[in-house]
Amino acid sequence: MFEAVAFYLFAFLTIAMFYIVVTTKQALYALTALAAGMIFISAFFFILGAEFLGAIQIIVYTGAVMALYAFGMMFFDTTRDVKEAQGNKFIITGLATLAAVLVVLIVSAPIISENITAYYPALPEVGNTQEVGMVLFTKYLVPFEVAAVMLLVAMIAGIVLAGKKMDLSITLMNDAEIHDMKIDQKLDQHKKVLS
């Protein structure tokens, strides 16, 4: 009984949150609703007994959406509405059709899923965390390592992009040095304009 109540409550909340994400014009509403929706999804993991994935869902997505907030802070005045460019009508129609087809597929999925059995059924005597670890380091070792390498590549790329003048620290310089640096930069710009 509790499971059913919790499922329908969180299903409603999650869908409502993601509906706000795509319809609102206020960047702060969209981001907050996204964070809330991501956290509400963890409830489904808890209901299914996958508490490790539930906790990870909370930790990973709070951090991820927090980074989006940082971008929102840099690019928008988040207290004002964003004026959106009206897109192509055909794209909207196409996406709506696709969504309708997907809904039909999702609803009809249980008919097919009755014939599916799990490769690695959850064992009641082994903890959830241990099971995830077992599968991750045996069957899915290669995808796991590839994902790690991709993240490393992304991190190095990010450092290279952001790392110009990293040896300079404005907080450690005195005012005269900062002034000199600014003048140098202006001279460089002038040279570029002239050439």
Partner 1 sequence: MESAYLIETVIKIVVILLVFSALAGIGTYFERKILAFMQRRLGPSIVGPYGLLQVAADGIKLFTKEDIIPAGVVGRIFKIAPVITAATAFMAAAAIPFLPQFTIFGYTVHPIVADINVGILYILGVMAVGLYGPLLGGMASANKYSLISAARAAAVFISYEVVTGLAILAPIMMVGSLSLIDFNEYQAGGIGNWIVWSQPVAFILFWIAAFAETGRTPFHLIANDHEIIDGFGTEYSGMRWGLFFIGEYANMFFISFVIPLLFLGGFGDGSFLGALGLLAKVAFFFFFFLWTRAAWPDVRPDQLMWLCWKVLMPVAVINVVITGLVMMF
Measured CA to CA, the distance from residue 53 to residue 42 in angstroms comes to 8
Q: Least distance (Å) from partner 1 to the CB of residue 158? A: 13
Helix (H, G, I), strand (E, B) or coil at 26: strand
Stretch that binds partner 1, among 3-11, 22-30, 107-115, 145-153 (CB under 8 A): 22-30
Phi, psi at 81, each rounded to 5°: -70, 145
Residues 62-121 that bind partner 1 (CB under 8 A): 62-63, 66-67, 69-70, 72-73, 78-79
Q: Give least dist CB 58 to partner 1, A.
A: 4
**Angle, vertex CA 121, rays to CA 117 and CA 126, nearest 5:** 175
128 φ, ψ to 5°? -60, -45
**Residue 59 is a binding residue for partner 1 (CB under 8 A):** yes
**For partner 1, the closer CB: 7 or 32:** 32
CA separation for the pair 108, 110 (Å, rounded): 6
- Do residues 65 and 58 touch, judged by C-beta distance below 8 A? no
Amino acid identity of residue 191, one-letter, is K
Binding residue for partner 1, selected from 55, 82, 135, 181, defined by CB under 8 A: 55
Among 6, 18, 32, 82, binds partner 1 (CB under 8 A): 32
Q: Which residues bind partner 1 (CB under 8 A)?
A: 26, 28-29, 32, 35, 39, 51-52, 54-56, 58-59, 62-63, 66-67, 69-70, 72-73, 78-79, 127-129, 169, 171
